[in-house]
């Protein structure tokens, strides 16, 4: 008898391997996440966080120096 691994892990039974630093959402093996400055962010939190971090650089086209 040999062990057969499932190709698609059952998400209901998967054990979380970490959590998002912002929302606390569970991160599973193989799920997309971003390690930014020592913190791990989930896919849902990345863009809002990134836009907030880039806020000092935000301007309007008319105000930008060309
Ligand atoms: Zn998150």
Q: Residue 8 Cα, ligand 1 centroid: separation in angstroms?
A: 23
The DSSP result for the chain, as a single string, is: ------SS--TTTPPP-EE-TTT--EE-TT--EEEETTEEEEHHHHHHHHHHHTGGG---GGGS--
Residue 11: predicted pLDDT? 60
Q: List CB-based neighbours of ion ligand 1 within 5 Å.
A: 20, 22-23, 25, 42, 45
Residue 53: predicted pLDDT? 94
Q: How far apart are CA 27 and CA 17, in angstroms?
A: 6
Q: Residue 29 Cα, ligand 1 centroid: separation in angstroms?
A: 15
Residue 66: predicted pLDDT? 61
Q: What phi, psi does 20 have (nearest 5°)?
A: -70, 135
Residue 52: predicted pLDDT? 95
Write out the chain's pLDDT in tens, 66 residues. Answer: 777 666 665 666 889 989 999 999 999 999 999 999 899 999 999 999 999 999 999 998 887 666
Residue 25: predicted pLDDT? 95
């Amino acid at each position: 008898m040999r062990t057969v691994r499932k190709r698609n892990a059952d998400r209901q039974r998967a054990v979380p391997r970490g959590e998002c630093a912002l929302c606390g959402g569970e991160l599973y093996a193989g799920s997309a996440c971003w390690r930014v400055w020592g913190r791990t962010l989930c896919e849902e939190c990345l863009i809002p966080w990134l836009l907030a971090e880039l806020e000092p650089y935000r301007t309007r086209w008319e105000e930008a120096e060309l």
